[in-house]
């Protein structure tokens, strides 16, 4: 028994599959913005982080969004009684806002981490630090991602 499929039927099935995939997996900046709030609340347990102690060092303009260098550091004595436990990096314009999580202990000596991140477009980067005494600190910086390094 032979089944014959016409070109029109093939195109119809392909278009329907593309439409179904687009509707089922659409994630845009609005969803990512909500995702960043959800991730921040989950990380802090609903507590409001305070501005300060966290420093973000990354370029204001990134010529290549595929590899943006970033350093996050937190002022802390890093003693057994007072240290940074975790730092989370969030990007509000990426499809998945959670970029990285760093874990520290008093043995770390410094609460500082360097990495490279991938950014989909111009967006805000947010760092939230959790200390051993349950306090949260934050910093935010916008990075403009240019196309082809043209500055626009």
Residues 107-115, mean pLDDT to the nearest whole number: 96
Alpha-carbon separation of residue 26 from 23, 32, 38, 112 (angstroms): 6, 11, 18, 35
DSSP letter at 108 equals G
Q: Is residue 98 part of a domain?
A: yes
Q: Is residue 22 part of a domain?
A: no
Pick from 96, 75, 94: nearest CA to 84: 75
Q: Is residue 81 part of a domain?
A: yes
Q: Is residue 122 part of a domain?
A: yes
- Gyration radius (Cα) of the chain, Å: 21
- Residues whose CB falls within 8 Å of the CB of residue 58, separated by 6 or more in sequence, listed in order: 68, 69, 70, 71, 125, 141, 143
pLDDT > 90? residue 89 = yes
Residues 127-148, mean pLDDT to the nearest whole number: 93
Separation between Cα atoms, residue 116 and residue 113, nearest integer Å: 10
Residues 34-52, mean pLDDT to the nearest whole number: 92
pLDDT confidence tier of residue 120, bands split at 50, 70 and 90: confident
| Number of domains into which the chain is organized | 1
Residues 124-128, mean pLDDT to the nearest whole number: 97
Q: Is residue 14 part of a domain?
A: no
Separation between Cα atoms, residue 125 and residue 59, nearest integer Å: 11
Q: Is residue 99 part of a domain?
A: yes
* Helix/strand/coil percentages in the chain, nearest 5: 25, 35, 40
pLDDT > 80? residue 40 = yes
pLDDT confidence tier of residue 148, bands split at 50, 70 and 90: low
Residue bearing tokens 């969030």: 90
Residue 42's domain is classified under what CATH number? 2.60.40.2470
Q: Is residue 4 part of a domain?
A: no
Q: Is residue 1 part of a domain?
A: no
Question: Domain residues for 61?
Answer: 28-145
């Amino acid at each position: 028994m032979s089944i014959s499929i016409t070109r029109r039927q093939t195109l119809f099935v392909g278009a329907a599959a593309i439409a179904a995939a687009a509707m089922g997996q659409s994630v845009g900046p609005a969803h990512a913005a909500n995702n960043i709030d959800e991730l921040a609340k989950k990380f802090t347990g609903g507590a409001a982080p305070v501005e300060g102690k966290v420093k973000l060092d990354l370029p204001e303009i990134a010529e290549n969004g595929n590899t943006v260098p970033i350093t996050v550091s937190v002022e802390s004595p890093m003693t057994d009684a007072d240290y940074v436990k975790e730092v989370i990096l969030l990007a509000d314009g990426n499809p998945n806002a959670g970029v990285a999580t760093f874990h520290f202990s008093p043995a770390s000596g410094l609460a500082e981490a360097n990495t490279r991140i991938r950014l989909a477009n111009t967006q805000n980067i947010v760092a939230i630090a959790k200390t051993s005494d349950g306090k949260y600190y934050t910093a935010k910086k916008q990075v403009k991602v240019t196309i082809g390094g043209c500055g626009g």
